[in-house]
């Protein structure tokens, strides 16, 4: 017997047409370099995106060819999200926080044919222009200034295009739509290539009530850069549901975000923990000096990810009526793999347990299989105690890297992704990330979790940030060293920090041997603690 | 360039394993024939379902073979939903409201190999047993009585099976999982065969916030029979999200449902309009005679479908704090095609407009394309006025029928399903079903919508139900005749009904020529008005 269902491929083009047909009146707002707001309707967005696709085809873009973007978060970047695949191309988001050398290397590795670049990022482009020859450089006049004559003008291309006559490039659902490079704290960045299928499935899963809970009535503020794992896939979700989007443009300073929240109060936002730490510190400092300057968007939910979210940060926002939700994932997982959300099983468990759970990575989302493997390759029990490597499998998980041979350190023989993260899983299938494999501290034959120590330290009232690394030790093999950043005007001594950690349930042998006070934790281009730099600074 | 994403097929087995691993503690409740409640945990459900799959394989079930069910709504039926596909089989739900002849014909057409049947439905089974020879008849001892010796005992099979050693039948995602027959008000019923792919996609779309908004914290009461378009797909959604389910068993009388709602207050339910009409009439009558007997589950949402939902019914439930949501679809569309939900564009439009919209079929759900075609095959404008035939396309829409050649009256040349429903679509892409193609009334060259007349009549305080049909007319070709069922102890004269319709915006020429008072509107096995029977009764 065979199924009688239609053979209709999953397609981003369906989501775009849907948005234009159903949600034509809903707004998309972008903050420009001069901080003014530009508004488009979804109907205009739909038409401009088809115009972009038509223009790219006229420029000779062929099936599967890469179009890079070097852009902040704004409506034209969203046009690229759908317009490049609509033309049959593959959107490749370049990370503007990388070094110019690295950007150039990545563009060459991806063999990007065209580039769409914000005019205000042309100085950055010129620093890597010699590393890779784009056939066309299309400049988006984000600032409103005239586009220099040697480049293509994005708006002129759209004005000359034929959105009504445009015909979508035919495609199979497994055809590629976009690519991102891993942030690569070790080794060269590697390309992950998403498809219509993986992106639509990821979007459907993400929008579910227990995951992002994204509805057409939401107002989405995406602070996560659109070059960071496709902005965690949220822009695709907003277009599918017809949600209003408020793009912050290049203005990511806490003052700017708080100003924007007054003008366009969001109901949903997303960003890395650093952003939210800065925001709450700025807000609470202003409450003392300038009360009434800002109001928090009470009722807002925010998805926080990219690195572990300390419970203290979740509690701090909860006091302002804002729910921080936590997810775990990576470029390789599209990126959504787990989410922590209020589970029915815990409705009577009390507030402390709720916060404790909220600070965990959460449970696997639909379509994602997760297993925890110990060093011997056995599946760890779901007891919340036995850690192992997190391995992942599913239709929006990468099975290889662009033009890199599949290797055993990245994929298991039975086809699961080896994430390099170490975690426990408990009886409710909550994942708790204890470390990156390479960040675990092995002391006297026992493992110490650097992440647990960091979270406990960041709950101390004097500490703004903390990162823990291993240093070699002749007796114990490795011992923890804690790098501390004080909150402004605050400090504490090592002994009181030790007492604080003991109160948080650590054993005496797990306490850091040393506390080093530093000005700032070095970060990777995507905002994660860059422990490699700390290990270089504190080799012993 | 090719995508690097894993090739992992969509699979119901993933949803079942997910439920067992993540939501093991959540409950599934079934009401037994004696009205007591039986509880299982999802962990038990997972184990029992694997046991069923293992038992079916031991009985020799091969890939793609049909296992029929003749069951009420309960946990064992849910075990069949996942256990039969897990074994590689195809679940075929038989509609126990059909005549025995028809059930037998359908079982033979589907070539069902095994049957799972509730013990309390054995008398029905015996009425069609000679029409089709099932190789095995597996009796679920729903009442608790011993299973007659000539049949297999469902519980005994599960007890002997090997859930731990069970291995899922390998499958492609397009392999079939279940089949339903259309209710067939005209002609022979036809089989629609769903796949892993179509079912998983339909489940993901259904659970979205703006569609069913089904979360793990929900308590689902499925009143819609599980043999009616897979209970609109909602059981799959509950298992995916880990929601508590409360199955009503055979007890669908309003008194029984109200009693059950006191014991296990639902947050989400689903059923046809008739169910909810009966419920509110019973509830409001009891408020007068026996106040305090029942409380309405305030805050509950209910998806109502299967036929049009009158605005008066939506308003009546809203007065008790219950939101009736409306969807439109059919067996051929899995069945979700459109849903009416509060749209961001209408948040300031006022209560009357909100209720007016809530009484429409709503807008297309993600992955479903809908177009309205006039008699000449042109696409009707989205102006809310020009009606045409609703045509549908998408990955969970049927493209053919089981062993029936594809014909032009059911599918267009470019592969869209012709639904036979007539509707308008407005600027917000709200579909308003005006009629079945064959129920439209053509009077003096102008169309009159029987559904519009029915809804307006059912808003009259004296009318319980109304159905409008066309009768031949020498001058106008056709004229409307209204069949009326009074509310208990109430009545009105034809003239006042005419005035009522004029007040609802009908033109004088659109009013029914006659009002016929009858005891009940005849219904099909799935609860829809059976107008064929009315046309037979009132040929002129």
pLDDT tens profile A312-334:
999 999 999 999 999 899 999 99
* Domain membership flag for residue A5: no
| pLDDT score recorded for residue B420 | 87
Q: Name the residue in chain A with its Cα closest to that of B370.
A: A18
The SS3 assignment for A398 reads strand
The Cα–Cα gap between B260 and A461 comes to: 51
Of A2, A193, A208, the CB nearest to B3: A193
pLDDT of residue A227: 95
Three-state DSSP class for residue A52: helix
- Which residue of A5, A242, A417 is in closest CB contact with B395? A5
Beta-carbon separation of A194 and B366 below 8 A? no
Q: Identify whether the C-beta of residue B260 lies closer than 8 Å to the C-beta of residue B248.
A: yes
Higher pLDDT, B129 or A408: B129
Chains A, B: CB contacts under 8 A, how many? 215
Tens digit of each residue's pLDDT (9 = 90 or more) over A258-298: 999 999 999 999 998 888 989 999 999 999 999 999 999 99
Query: How close A274 gets to chain B, by Cα (Å)?
Result: 29
Strand partners, A517: A484
Do the chains contact at B5 and A396, CB–CB below 8 Å? Answer: yes
Say whether B10 and A395 touch across the interface (CB within 8 A). yes
The average pLDDT across B344-349 equals 91
> How many Cβ atoms sit within 10 Å of the Cβ of residue B443?
18
Q: Which residues of B are catalytic?
A: 182, 332, 442, 447
Question: Which DSSP state fits A309?
Answer: P
Q: Which two tokens stand for residue B421?
A: 């429903």
Residues of B within 8 A of A4 (CB-CB) are 191-193, 398-402
Looking at the fold, whether A387 and A533 belong to one and the same domain comes out as no
Task: State what percent of residues in chain A have pLDDT above 90.
Answer: 78
pLDDT at A477: 78
What was the pLDDT predicted at B506? 86
Which H or E element spans position B22?
helix B12-22
The Cα–Cα gap between B454 and B452 comes to: 5
Contact criterion met (CB < 8 Å) for B176 and A26: no
* B1·A242 Cβ contact <8 A: no
Q: Which residues of A touch B367 (CB under 8 A)?
A: 8, 10, 14, 200
Question: Confidence class of residue B186 from pLDDT cuts 50, 70 and 90?
Answer: low
Report the domain count for chain B.
3
Together in a domain, A464 and A509: yes
Inter-chain touch A397–B369, beta carbons under 8 Å:
no
**Residue B238 within any structural domain of the chain:** no
- Distance from B369 to chain A by nearest Cα, in Å? 8
Positive or negative, the CA dihedral B10, B12, B13, B18 is positive
Do B446 and B478 contact (CB within 8 A), yes or no? no
List the helix and strand counts (H, then E) for chain B: 15, 25
pLDDT, tens digit (0-9, with 9 covering 90-100), for A119-140:
999 999 999 999 999 999 999 9
Tell how strand A191-195 and strand A176-181 pair up.
Answer: antiparallel
Q: What secondary structure letter does DSSP report for B230?
A: G
Q: Which residues of A touch B243 (CB under 8 A)?
A: 344
Which chain B residues are Cβ-neighbours of A407 within 8 angstroms?
A: none
End residue of a domain, out of B193, B208, B240: B193
- pLDDT score recorded for residue A186: 53
Give the whole-number percent of chain B exceeding pLDDT 90.
78
pLDDT per position as a tens digit, A426-455: 999 999 888 776 777 877 767 788 888 998
Q: Is B455 domain-assigned? A: yes
Cβ distance A344 to B201 less than 8 Å, yes or no, reads: no
In-domain check, residue B225: no
pLDDT in the model for residue A83: 98
pLDDT value at B471 more than 60: yes
Q: What is the mean pLDDT of residues B217-225?
A: 97
Asked, for residue A220, whether it belongs to a domain, the answer is no
Mean pLDDT of A37-49: 98
Based on the fold, state whether residues A42 and A161 are members of the same structural domain: yes
Q: SS3 of B223, please?
A: coil
Residue A243 lies in a domain: no
The CATH number assigned to the domain holding A287 equals: 3.40.50.12780
- Residues A205, A211: contact at Cβ < 8 Å? yes
Chain A, nearest residue to B199 by Cα: A5
Q: Looking at the structure, do residues B415 and B460 belong to the same domain, yes or no?
A: no
Residues from chain A that touch B207, judged by Cβ atoms under 8 A, are: 208-209
Residue of B nearest to A12 (CA): B367
Contact A22, A95 (CB under 8 A): no
Closest CA to B538 of B472, B485, B474: B472
Bridge partner list, B401 = B404
A489 or B31, greater pLDDT: B31
A133 with A273, same domain: the answer is: no
**Closest residue in chain B to residue A112, using alpha carbons only:** B1
Q: B275 is written with which tokens? A: 């169910």
What is the spatial distance between Cα A258 and Cα A254, in angstroms, rounded to a whole number?
6
User: Mean pLDDT across the stretch A91-105?
Assistant: 92
Q: In this complex, which of B18, B214, B395 lies closest to A209 when CB atoms are compared? A: B214
- Given an 8 Å threshold on Cβ–Cβ distance, is A217 in contact with B8? no
| Mean pLDDT score, B65-84 | 98
The candidate with the shortest Cα–Cα distance to A334, out of A395, A412, A402, A408, is A395
Mutate to test the interface with B, among A3, A380, A391 (most CBs of B within 10 A): A3
Q: List, in sequence order, the alpha helices (H) in A264-398.
A: 273-289, 311-318, 351-358
Is A5 close to B399, i.e. CB distance below 8 A?
yes
Distance from CA of B251 to the nearest CA of A (A): 27
Chain A neighbors of B192, CB-CB under 8 A: 4
Instruction: Kindly determine whether residue A395 and residue B24, on different chains, have CB atoms separated by under 8 Å.
Output: no
Q: Are residues A452 and A348 in the same domain?
A: no
Q: Is B31 in the same domain as B111?
A: yes
Rounded Cα–Cα distance for residues A380 and B232 (Å):
38
Answer yes or no: are the C-beta atoms of A120 and A33 closer than 8 Å: yes
Q: Is residue A528's pLDDT more than 80? A: no
Contact A217 B363 (CB under 8 A): no
- Please list, in sequence order, all residues whose beta carbon lies within 8 angstroms of the beta carbon of residue B496, skipping any fewer than 6 positions away: none
Q: What is the set of active-site residues of A?
A: 182, 332, 442, 447
pLDDT, tens only, A136-155: 999 999 999 999 999 999 99
Stronger pLDDT, B408 or A86, i.e. the higher one: A86
Question: Which of B6, B15, B174 has its CB closest to that of A394?
Answer: B6
My answer on whether B39 and B115 are in the same domain is yes
- Six-digit token string for A58: 């006229």
Q: Which pLDDT value is given to residue B439?
A: 75
Express each pLDDT in B206-218 by its tens digit.
999 999 999 999 9
**Domain boundary residue among B147, B176, B193?**
B193
pLDDT at B496: 92
Considering the domain architecture, whether residues A425 and A446 belong to the same structural domain is answered as no
Residue A455 sits in the same domain as residue A423: no
Of A189-198, A414-423, B370-379, the range with the highest mean pLDDT is A189-198
Where does residue A539 rank: exposed (0-12), middle (13-18), buried (19+ CB within 10 A)? Answer: exposed
Q: Angle at CA A131, nearest 5°, toward A126 and A132?
A: 95
Q: What's the pLDDT score for residue B15?
A: 98
Distance from CA of B105 to the nearest CA of A (A): 18
Contact at CB, B14 and A367, closer than 8 angstroms: yes
Asked if the Cβ–Cβ distance from B1 to A402 is below 8 Å, we say: yes
A368 to chain B: closest CA residue: B14
Q: Is residue A157 part of a domain?
A: yes
In the predicted structure, residue B260 carries a pLDDT above the cut 70: yes
Residue A488's domain comprises 440-537
Task: For residue B511, list its beta bridge partners.
Answer: none
pLDDT recorded at residue A258:
98
The domain that holds B482 is classified in CATH as: 3.30.300.30
Beta-carbon contacts of B306 under 8 Å, excluding residues fewer than 6 positions away, are: B224, B228, B272, B273, B526, B527, B528
Nearest residue, CB atoms, A8 vs list B176, B347, B395: B395
**Which residues in B lie closer than 8 A to residue A210 (C-beta atoms)?**
215-216, 241
Could you tell me if A381 and A405 lie in one domain? yes
pLDDT over threshold 60, residue A184: no
Greater pLDDT, B462 or B524: B462
Higher pLDDT, B476 or B182: B182
Tell me what pLDDT residue B407 has. Answer: 85
Q: Which of A437, A460, A487 is the last residue of a domain?
A: A437
Q: Give me the interface pTM, i.e. the ipTM.
A: 0.89
Q: Is residue B205 part of a domain?
A: no
Cα of B439 to nearest chain A Cα, Å: 27
Q: Is the pLDDT of residue A367 over 80?
A: yes
Tell me, yes or no, whether B111 and B123 share the same domain.
yes
């Amino acid at each position: 017997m065979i199924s009688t269902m239609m053979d209709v491929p999953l397609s981003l083009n369906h989501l775009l047409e849907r948005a234009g047909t159903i949600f034509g009146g809903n707004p998309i707002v972008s903050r420009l370099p001069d901080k003014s707001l530009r508004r488009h309707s979804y109907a205009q967005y739909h038409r401009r995106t088809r115009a972009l696709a038509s223009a790219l085809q006229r420029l000779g873009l062929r099936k599967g060819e890469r179009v890079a973007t070097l852009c902040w978060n704004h409506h034209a970047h969203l046009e690229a999200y759908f317009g490049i695949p609509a033309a049959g191309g593959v959107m490749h988001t370049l990370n503007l926080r990388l070094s110019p050398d690295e950007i150039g290397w990545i563009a060459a590795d991806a063999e990007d044919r065209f580039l769409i670049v914000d005019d205000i990022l042309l100085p950055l482009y010129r620093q890597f222009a010699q590393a890779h020859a784009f056939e066309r450089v299309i400049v988006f006049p984000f600032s409103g200034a005239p586009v220099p004559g040697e480049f293509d003008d994005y708006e002129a291309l759209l004005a000359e295009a034929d959105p009504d006559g445009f015909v979508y490039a035919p495609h199979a659902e497994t055809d590629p739509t976009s690519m991102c490079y891993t942030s690569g704290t070790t080794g060269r960045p590697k390309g992950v290539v998403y498809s219509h299928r993986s992106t639509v499935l990821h979007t459907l899963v993400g929008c579910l009530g227990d995951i992002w809970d994204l509805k057409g009535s939401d107002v989405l503020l995406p602070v996560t850069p659109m070059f960071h794992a496709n902005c965690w896939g949220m822009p695709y979700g907003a277009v599918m549901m017809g949600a209003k989007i408020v793009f912050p443009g290049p203005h990511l300073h806490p003052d700017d975000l708080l100003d924007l929240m007054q003008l366009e109060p969001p109901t949903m936002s997303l960003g890395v923990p650093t952003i939210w730490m800065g925001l709450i510190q700025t807000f609470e400092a202003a409450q003392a000096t300038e009360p009434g300057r800002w109001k928090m968007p009470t009722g807002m939910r925010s998805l926080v990810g990219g690195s572990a979210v300390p419970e203290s940060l979740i509690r701090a926002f909860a006091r302002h009526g804002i729910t921080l939700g936590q997810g775990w994932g990576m470029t390789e997982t599209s990126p959504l793999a787990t989410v922590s959300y209020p589970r029915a099983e815990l409705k009577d468990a009390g507030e402390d347990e709720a916060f404790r759970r909220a600070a965990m990575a959460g449970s696997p989302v639909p379509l994602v299989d997760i297993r925890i493997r110990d060093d011997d390759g056995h599946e760890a029990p779901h007891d919340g105690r036995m850690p192992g490597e997190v391995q992942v499998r599913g239709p929006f998980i990468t099975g290889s890297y662009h033009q890199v041979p599949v290797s055993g350190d990245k994929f298991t023989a039975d086809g699961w992704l080896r994430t390099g993260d170490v975690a426990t899983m408990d009886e409710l299938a909550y994942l708790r990330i204890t470390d990156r494999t390479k960040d675990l501290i092995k002391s006297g034959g026992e493992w110490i979790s650097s992440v647990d120590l960091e979270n406990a330290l960041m709950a101390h009232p004097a500490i703004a940030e903390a990162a823990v690394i291993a240093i070699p030790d002749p007796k114990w093999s490795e011992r923890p060293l804690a790098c501390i950043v004080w909150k402004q005007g605050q400090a504490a001594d090592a002994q009181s920090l030790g007492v604080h950690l003991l109160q948080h349930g650590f054993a005496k042998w797990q306490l850091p041997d040393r506390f080093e006070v530093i000005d700032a934790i070095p970060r990777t281009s995507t905002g994660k603690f860059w422990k490699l730099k700390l290990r270089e600074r504190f080799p012993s």
